[in-house]
């Protein structure tokens, strides 16, 4: 429910929110993960869980958590650290003060996230004479704050002095509707653009200044330019470790940062020049201040060449003709080709988000919807529901791995019940491919990451080399049992035909396709700081530790 609300809010550029309500108990705590996801991704959702009796007459009630040293604690207190605003409504009249505060946070582009209002069961039923004015329609204005002119001129001066500037476009570019303003800046100045997961779609993939994804899941185009950049202009990004490749992607010892962000907390990261303001308004003013200036022709030509070379690499990965099972990159290519520019791809967890970040050819700023702030398994189908509710005119393609599908496939029932069409592509690699690959890279051989029978009392650390039989998990049969129209695909051509058929369906369609878990997309020399045991009796772990220490030496002092 909360995942659907998050998908809705993101698709509406944070200008709309849904309300999620439950009883006290497991219904409430089931929303805690969704609350964390909303808050981390800065997306507005309103959560209204029930709570224990304010009167405490029937305590302890069914499902009530009792804390011996604090009588006013309930399970809803678990929402406090994952909410942007939390309150418990002990009296009805408290809503006169609380409701405007809740809306203040929901409408605040810098500080939005989950808002949790816990309602005791007896208070929910009480009558109170609210003033009629409380129910009058209110208009909440979303401002576009512009930074001070002195700061903007200082930023323009730094940009003009740079030889190899680079823009890193984050989710703020999308939410503030700044994509067109960024396109103008990139076209007139020649400054190249790399994109975070949330910022993907800020430029069309074929724009001459587009370098695509940056960081751990970045392209060789973006990461090679980032390595030599002398000025990095972050627009609407909070600089996660994936964006900075654990602070190794920017390797120029003299690199400086300009951060454009509506949240001053993010604008001040890396001790650069903080430009606190709306992304669109700021870029439009910077475009004026940079009039007549552009990067050198050689730099512009380098970026254009890298853009072409990366496009060729994507085409290669889309058309591998790998067999007998297709590669995941081929599946992405088929879905990308089948979708229209205005359609939306939804994903969240596993190996798929990294491959999508690199490979998906975005043509519309709202066409790429990958939840990667929390990378929450199980988000995909529920999030896709929210996307479709917010944009019913668009086709929604949910790409989900088998592991994440098993976390939350039940929302297929909701889609069928509500007559909401989703096209769900389940990529089956018989386990947890992302963690398996990470495990192998750290010398531990993918322990426990395949759906296989236990053998001789244990799955064993050598299960990747000498695996037990695969479990007979039939995801297509599962989807069919939930009411979806199911198409089983064995080859790339099957998937092409299946997607074409799905376009003519009016209800949810699930396509399943098995892929080769070992045929991955290259990392292109990017790095993610995942510590390896410093002491081990396993030779492969010791080798991984040595590689880890060498890579960590590249960490920049950001």
Q: Is pLDDT at 336 greater than 50 in this prediction?
A: yes
Query: Which residues, in sequence order, are bridge partners of residue 235?
Result: 169, 260
Check: pTM over 0.85? Answer yes or no: yes
pLDDT for res 23: 94
Nearest C-alpha neighbor of 344 from the set 315, 372, 368, 378: 368
Query: Which residues, in sequence order, are bridge partners of residue 511?
Result: 425, 487
pLDDT for res 488: 97
Most distant CA pair in the chain, distance: 77
pLDDT for res 556: 53
What's the DSSP call for residue 450?
Answer: B
pLDDT band at 551 (very low <50, low <70, confident <90, very high): confident
pLDDT for res 271: 78
Query: CA angle, 174 as apex, 173 and 178 as ends, to 5°?
Result: 50
Q: Is pLDDT at 251 greater than 70 in this prediction?
A: yes
Topology (CATH) of 2-135 = Rossmann fold (3.40.50)
pLDDT for res 73: 94
CA atoms within 13 Å, Cβ hemisphere of 498: 25
Q: Is pLDDT at 555 greater than 80 in this prediction?
A: no
Note the CATH architecture for domain 149-311: 3-Layer(aba) Sandwich (3.40)
Mean confidence (pLDDT) of the chain: 93
pLDDT for res 460: 45
pLDDT for res 209: 96
Same fold, 2-135 and 149-311: yes
* Helix ranges (DSSP H) in 339-469: 352-359, 379-390, 402-407, 411-418, 433-441
pLDDT band at 436 (very low <50, low <70, confident <90, very high): confident
Instruction: Taking residues 156-177, report their average pLDDT.
Output: 97
pLDDT for res 461: 43
pLDDT for res 466: 65
Q: Are 172 and 262 in contact (CB under 8 A)?
A: yes
pLDDT digits (tens, 9 = 90+) for 121-165: 999 999 999 999 999 999 999 999 999 999 999 999 999 999 999
Instruction: Taking residues 176-191, report their average pLDDT.
Output: 97
Task: Give residue limits of the domains in the chain.
Answer: 2-135, 149-311, 319-430+473-514
Q: Is pLDDT at 459 greater than 80 in this prediction?
A: no
Nearest C-alpha neighbor of 531 from the set 515, 504, 511, 551: 551
Nearest C-alpha neighbor of 345 from the set 314, 368, 379: 368
Nearest C-alpha neighbor of 339 from the set 401, 274, 398, 270: 398
Give the class (CATH, top level) of 319-430+473-514.
Answer: alpha beta
> Phi, psi (5° rounding) for residue 310?
-70, -40
Instruction: Taking residues 338-353, report their average pLDDT.
Output: 95
Q: Is pLDDT at 435 greater than 50 in this prediction?
A: yes
Three-class secondary structure of residue 346 per DSSP: strand
Q: Rounded CA gap, 341 and 21, in Å? A: 35
pLDDT digits (tens, 9 = 90+) for 462-497: 455 566 788 899 999 999 999 999 999 999 999 999
Nearest C-alpha neighbor of 304 from the set 225, 367, 214: 225
Q: Are 278 and 262 in contact (CB under 8 A)?
A: yes
């Amino acid at each position: 429910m909360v995942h659907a609300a998050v998908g809705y809010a993101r698709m509406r550029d944070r200008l709309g929110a849904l309300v999620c309500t439950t009883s006290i108990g497991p219904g409430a705590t089931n929303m805690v993960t969704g609350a964390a996801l909303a808050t981390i991704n800065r997306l507005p959702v309103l959560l209204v869980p029930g709570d224990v009796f304010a009167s405490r007459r029937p305590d302890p009630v069914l499902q009530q958590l009792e804390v011996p040293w604090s009588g006013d604690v309930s399970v809803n207190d678990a929402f406090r650290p994952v909410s942007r605003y939390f309150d418990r409504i002990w009296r009805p009249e408290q809503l006169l003060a609380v409701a405007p505060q809740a809306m203040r946070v929901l409408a605040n582009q810098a500080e939005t996230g989950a808002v949790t209002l816990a309602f005791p069961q007896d208070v929910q039923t009480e009558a109170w004479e609210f003033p009629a004015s409380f129910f009058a329609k209110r208009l909440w204005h979303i401002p576009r704050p512009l930074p001070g002119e002195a700061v903007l001129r200082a930023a323009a001066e730094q940009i003009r002095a740079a030889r190899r500037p680079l823009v890193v476009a984050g989710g703020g570019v999308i939410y503030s509707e700044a994509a067109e303003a960024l396109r103008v800046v990139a076209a007139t100045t020649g400054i190249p653009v790399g994109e975070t997961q949330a910022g993907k779609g800020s430029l069309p993939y074929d724009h001459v200044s587009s370098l695509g994804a940056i960081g751990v899941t970045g392209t060789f185009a973006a990461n090679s330019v980032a390595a030599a950049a002398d000025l990095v202009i972050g627009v609407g990004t909070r600089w996660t470790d994936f964006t900075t490749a654990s602070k190794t992607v920017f390797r120029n010892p003299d690199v400086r940062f300009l951060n454009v962000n509506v949240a001053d907390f993010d604008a001040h990261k890396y001790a650069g020049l903080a430009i606190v303001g709306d992304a669109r308004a700021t870029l439009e003013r910077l475009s004026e201040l940079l009039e007549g200036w552009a990067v050198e022709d050689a730099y512009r030509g380098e970026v254009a060449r890298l853009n072409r070379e990366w496009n060729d690499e994507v085409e290669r990965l889309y058309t591998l003709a790998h067999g007998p099972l297709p590669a995941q990159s081929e599946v992405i290519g088929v879905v990308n080709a089948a979708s229209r520019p205005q359609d939306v791809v939804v994903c969240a967890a596993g190996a798929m988000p990294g491959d999508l970040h690199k490979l998906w050819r975005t043509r519309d700023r709202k066409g790429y919807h990958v939840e990667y702030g929390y990378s929450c398994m199980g988000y995909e189908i529920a999030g896709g529901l929210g996307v479709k509710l917010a944009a019913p005119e668009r086709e929604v393609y949910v790409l989900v791995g088998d592991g994440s599908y098993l976390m939350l496939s039940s929302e297929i029932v909701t889609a069928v019940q509500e007559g909401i069409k989703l096209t769900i592509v389940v990529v089956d690699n018989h386990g947890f491919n992302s963690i398996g690959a990470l495990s192998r890279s750290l010398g531990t051989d993918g322990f426990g990451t395949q759906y296989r029978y236990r053998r001789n009392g244990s799955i064993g650390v050598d299960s990747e080399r000498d695996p037990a039989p695969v479990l007979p998990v039939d995801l297509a049969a599962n989807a069919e049992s939930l009411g979806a129209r199911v198409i089983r695909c064995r080859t790339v051509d099957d998937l092409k035909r299946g997607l074409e058929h799905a376009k003519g369906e009016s209800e949810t369609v699930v396509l399943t396709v098995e892929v080769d878990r070992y045929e991955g997309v290259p990392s292109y020399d990017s790095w993610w700081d995942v510590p390896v045991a410093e002491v081990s009796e396993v030779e492969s772990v010791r080798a991984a530790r040595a590689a880890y220490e060498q890579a960590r030496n590249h960490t920049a002092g950001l």
